[in-house]
Amino acid sequence: MPQLDTSTWLITIISMFLALFIFFQIKISNHPFPPNPSPKNLTLAQHKTPWENKWTKIYLPLSLPLQ
C-alpha cells in the first residue's frame, strides 16, 4: 500500500495562511471606518416635568417591610 506524500503540505498550509491574511487585509482596508470623533459641546437640556418639585415615593413590592 503506497504511503501518502506529505512533503508539500507545509508549503500548502503556509501559502493558504498567507493568502487568507492578504485577503482579510484587503477586505479591512476597503471597509469605510467612521471618522475620528470630535469633541462636541454637551449642554444638558433642562426638561420641566410636573413631578419635579413634588415629593413622591414609590412603593415597590420588594421594598415593603417583611411581615
- Ordered by start, the domain boundaries in the chain are 6-59
Tell whether pTM > 0.95.
no
**pLDDT at position 21:** 97
| pLDDT one-digit tens code per residue, 3-62 | 888 889 999 999 999 999 999 999 999 888 888 878 877 676 676 666 555 555 665 566
Q: Give dist(CA 61, CA 18) in Å, integer.
A: 62
